[in-house]
Amino acid sequence: KAGVTQTPRYLIKTRGQQVTLSCSPISGHRSVSWYQQTPGQGLQFLFEYFSETQRNKGNFPGRFSGRQFSNSRSEMNVSTLELGDSALYLCASSRTTTNYGYTFGSGTRLTVV
Amino acid sequence: AQSVTQLDSQVPVFEEAPVELRCNYSSSVSVYLFWYVQYPNQGLQLLLKYLSGSTLVKGINGFEAEFNKSQTSFHLRKPSVHISDTAEYFCAVSGSPADAGGTSYGKLTFGQGTILTVHP
């Protein structure tokens, strides 16, 4: 079966712009989580959505937002991009709500110049 | 709050030698524990997980880990490594949403990673 699909794989944006990243979870998975991975800070939790509702949020500024659609696909948006937002953004999906069934996508590599 | 410490940032080892990657965690609630592997330019792949029960957990690719509650550790081991095991390895912890309430939904807390380099 298809895995977690993230698009695009690579993205280059200019400071001050905004960006939208997409995540299609595994069929039947209703929970989607997002993570930011940087060399300095490592893997950090952004937020989690379940049935179109944000249930949990990490410690990121309000420029980072997300949403989930009725088909469980999720998007995250970063507005007013800063150089420090350059990172690998990973999406993970799970069928359950118990935190132990997450499958990760290959990520979107965002470079802000 | 939960935290994870991976005690070695880099571990070099020769092919066919045994390896241990160390992980310590802290948590105020009962936990689930995980080891993930990341190959260059790829996402995270689950190696193994501890949820409950037997403290020795076997995973894919010949890896195993032992949960030690008294030492709050979850070290990853492989008796004989291959060149293809060269990658970055992440230890992660999660609280059960039932124990931690809404604060843990979807949230894995990761260590800083250990780069395993297998030399021929």
Closest CA to A83 of A46, A45, A47, A110: A110
More confident residue, B102 or A44: A44
Taking 70 as the pLDDT cut, the residues of chain B under it are 97-103
pLDDT in tens, A57-91: 999 999 999 999 999 999 999 999 999 999 999 99
Give the residue carrying structure tokens 């800083």. B112
In A, which residues are within 8 Å of B109 by CB distance?
45
For residue B95, the model assigns a pLDDT of: 81
The verdict on A39 touching B (C-beta cutoff 8 Å) is no
Q: Do A99 and B94 make contact, defined as CB atoms within 8 angstroms?
A: yes
| % of chain A at pLDDT higher than 90 | 88
In A, which residues are within 8 Å of B97 by CB distance?
97-99
For residue B98, the model assigns a pLDDT of: 65
Is the pLDDT at A35 greater than 90, yes or no?
yes
Is the pLDDT at A1 greater than 70, yes or no?
no
The verdict on B13 touching A (C-beta cutoff 8 Å) is no
Q: Do A99 and B111 make contact, defined as CB atoms within 8 angstroms?
A: no
Average pLDDT over residues A44-62: 93
